[in-house]
């Protein structure tokens, strides 16, 4: 292994060189003498989206909380992206957001957002990470096996060069699996005798179809969005202003509402929406731009924190743990928060271990996976409750109550900028969902529903559900089973 310097550990191996893996490598470079990133696609510092990220061509969002984390790890990133034309704007002032109850207020929320393509984001981060002297990218390779030593401690990996023969073994003091939704971590765990719980899966049955095309200057919006809402609004879409004066447009539909890929059908789908901005802008595209469709959008959570025999020195994060329905824009931000958790744990344990840096890694893996579960639980619950409402045969009571409350909240928000601003902060993970049940908000929702006794009962019930169920879920998520 690499020689350890003062305050540092030896070698860390990151499996996966996408967004989560790159951000993890940036954090590990502060604590390890050597960081090796194993990537299955041939990449350079100039690579953006690559073939094994099929969702990369679609509209993406780094929520405000995730942007804070990235700016802390990559100072000046926002300005760098802005120089390439990625707009920065207030979430309320320059977003035309069509809720199921009407348009959200075009008023200042205090939440700044920047929009760009996944291609630009990954290229900008990859350039920075690959210039770090501690970081080495090894590609194209496929991670085949984890190696296990005494005390059920992962000691490294074996990878196979793509197009080559034989396995290459690399020792590591810590292995970070960021191999993504198709990375087969569960198979590698079973191969070393580790219990990998079956994932929780929510089938959203949603299809995305996306295109990138020129954006006119001097428009009054940077984003136009129509929200889907079960069961009567199965179609939606988003126009996202991105770098180089262009739009990224993603149209999406649940069930049989599949956006076509041909230019005429694509425009027809947009014209079927209630938000005219999308079809107005799409009518100006040439029709020659490539169109990308994406259908593998099931939400899937591997609850590795419940593993009875999770090994030492292995941590998993990003899509290797939880894949979200991308319509909610949570995945990149949750991955960034998970990496930030890893940074804090490495710092705390490094300080506690003082001169014995390697000893500070013992016990980290299970603590980290429990922390990941806590981070995932909130966004999983919020998006999952909405997705469950598309399944007419299985709509849990808690999901039905939350859905009813949301509709009433939206009915208030379209007339109340303060309520909308609260919702925006929750969506951007800057505030707890509990803020939507603050007495001042709840009173407005109740007044708006005062004409219907059933609505009052539902609102009261959802308050109790939020206070009890979420607390119990957090406890369960933290405890190994």
Cα separations in angstroms, 34 against 8, 10, 26, 212, 315: 10, 6, 11, 39, 17
Token pair belonging to 214: 């020129």
* Positions of the chain with pLDDT under 50: 1-6, 453-456, 459, 462-481
What SS3 string covers 145-167? EEEEECCCEEEEEEEEECCCCCC
Q: CA geometry: angle at 203 spanning 434 and 379, to 5°? A: 20
Q: State pLDDT tens for residues 110-164.
A: 999 999 999 999 999 999 999 999 999 999 999 999 999 998 999 999 999 998 8
CA distance 167 to 355: 35
| Rounded-to-integer distance, Cα 209 and Cα 151, Å | 48
Task: Give pTM, 2 decimals.
Answer: 0.91
Cα 276 to Cα 281: distance, rounded to the nearest angstrom: 9
| Those residues with Cβ within 8 angstroms of residue 440's Cβ, 6 or more apart along the chain or in another chain | none
Contacts of 157 (CB under 8 A, 6+ apart): 13, 15, 38, 143, 144, 145, 146, 147, 169, 170, 172, 175
Among residues of the chain, what percentage have pLDDT more than 70? 88
* CA–CA gap between residue 254 and residue 49 (Å, rounded): 26
CA distance 55 to 52: 9
Q: Which residue has the tokens 């099931």?
A: 298
Q: How many C-beta atoms surround the C-beta of residue 288 within 10 A? A: 7
Q: Phi first, then psi: give them for residue 153, nearest 5 degrees.
A: -115, 125
How does strand 174-177 pair with strand 314-316?
Answer: parallel
Helix%, strand%, coil% for the chain, nearest 5: 40, 20, 35
The rounded distance, in Å, linking the Cα atoms of 267 and 283 is 7
From CA 41, how far away is CA 36, in angstroms rounded?
15
Q: The tokens of 36 are what? A: 């090796």
What domains are there in the chain, each with its CATH number?
9-54+120-201+299-376 (3.50.50.60), 77-116+205-294 (3.30.9.100), 396-478 (no CATH)
Phi–psi pair at 158, nearest 5 degrees: -120, 130
**Ramachandran angles phi, psi of 72, nearest 5°:** -65, -35
12-58: pLDDT as tens digits: 999 999 999 999 999 999 999 999 999 999 988 888 777 667 677 78
17 neighbors 125 (Cβ within 8 angstroms)? no
Q: Cβ(137)–Cβ(50) under 8 Å? A: no
pLDDT of residue 471: 35
pLDDT given at position 360 = 78
In the prediction, which pLDDT does 54 show? 64
Token readout for 138 is 């090894």
pLDDT at position 2, please?
39
User: Which has the closest alpha carbon to 345: 66, 34, 28, 128?
Assistant: 28
pLDDT score of 466: 44
DSSP state of 283: T
Helices (H), 354-478: 364-388, 397-413, 417-427, 439-448, 453-478
- According to the model, what pLDDT value does residue 55 have? 73
Buried residues in 239-261 as b, exposed as e (16+ CB within 10 A): bbbbbeebbbbbbbbbeebbbee
């Amino acid at each position: 292994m690499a020689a350890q310097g003062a305050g540092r550990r030896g070698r860390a191996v990151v499996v996966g060189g996408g967004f989560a893996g790159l951000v993890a490598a940036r954090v590990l470079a502060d604590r390890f003498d050597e960081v090796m990133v194993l990537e299955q696609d041939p990449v350079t510092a100039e690579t953006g989206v690559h073939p094994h990220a099929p969702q990369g061509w679609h509209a993406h969002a780094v929520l405000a909380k995730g942007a804070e984390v990235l700016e802390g790890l990559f100072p000046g990133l926002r300005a760098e992206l802005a120089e390439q034309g990625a707009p920065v704007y207030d979430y309320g002032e320059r977003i035309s957001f069509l809720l199921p109850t009407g348009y959200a207020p075009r008023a200042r929320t205090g939440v700044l957002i920047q929009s760009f393509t996944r291609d630009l984001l990954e290229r900008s981060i990859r350039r920075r990470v690959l210039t770090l002297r501690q970081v080495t990218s090894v590609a194209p390779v496929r991670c085949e096996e984890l190696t296990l030593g005494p005390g059920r401690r992962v000691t490294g990996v074996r990878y196979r060069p793509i197009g080559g023969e034989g396995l290459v073994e690399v020792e590591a003091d810590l292995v970070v699996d960021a191999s993504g939704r198709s990375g087969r971590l569960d198979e590698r765990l079973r191969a070393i005798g580790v219990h990998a719980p079956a994932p929780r899966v929510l089938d959203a049955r949603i299809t995305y179809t996306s295109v990138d095309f020129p954006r006119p200057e001097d428009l009054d919006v940077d984003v136009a969005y129509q929200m889907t809402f079960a069961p009567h609004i199965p179609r939606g879409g988003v126009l996202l202003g991105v770098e180089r004066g262009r739009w990224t447009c993603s149209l999406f539909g649940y069930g049989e509402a599949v956006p076509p890929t041909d230019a005429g059908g694509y425009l027809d789908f947009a014209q079927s929406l209630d938000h005219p901005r999308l079809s107005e802008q799409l009518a100006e595209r040439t029709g020659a731009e490539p169109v990308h469709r994406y259908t593998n959008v099931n939400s899937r959570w591997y609850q590795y924190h419940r593993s009875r025999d999770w090994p030492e020195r292995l941590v998993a994060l990003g899509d290797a743990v939880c894949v979200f329905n991308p319509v909610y824009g949570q995945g990149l931000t949750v991955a960034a928060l998970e990496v930030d958790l890893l940074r804090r744990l490495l710092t705390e344990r490094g300080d506690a271990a003082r001169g014995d840096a390697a000893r500070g890694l013992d016990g980290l893996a299970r603590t980290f996976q429990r922390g990941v579960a806590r981070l995932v639980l909130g966004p999983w619950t919020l998006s999952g409750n909405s997705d469950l409402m598309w399944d007419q045969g299985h709509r849990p009571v808690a999901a039905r109550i939350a859905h009813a409350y949301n509709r009433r909240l939206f009915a208030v928000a379209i007339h109340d900028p303060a309520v909308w601003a609260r919702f925006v902060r929750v969506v951007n993970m800057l505030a707890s969902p509990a803020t939507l049940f603050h007495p001042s908000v709840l009173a407005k929702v109740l007044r708006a529903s005062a004409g219907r006794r059933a609505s009052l009962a539902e609102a009261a019930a959802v308050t109790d559900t939020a206070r009890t169920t979420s607390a119990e879920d957090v406890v369960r998520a933290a405890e190994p089973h």
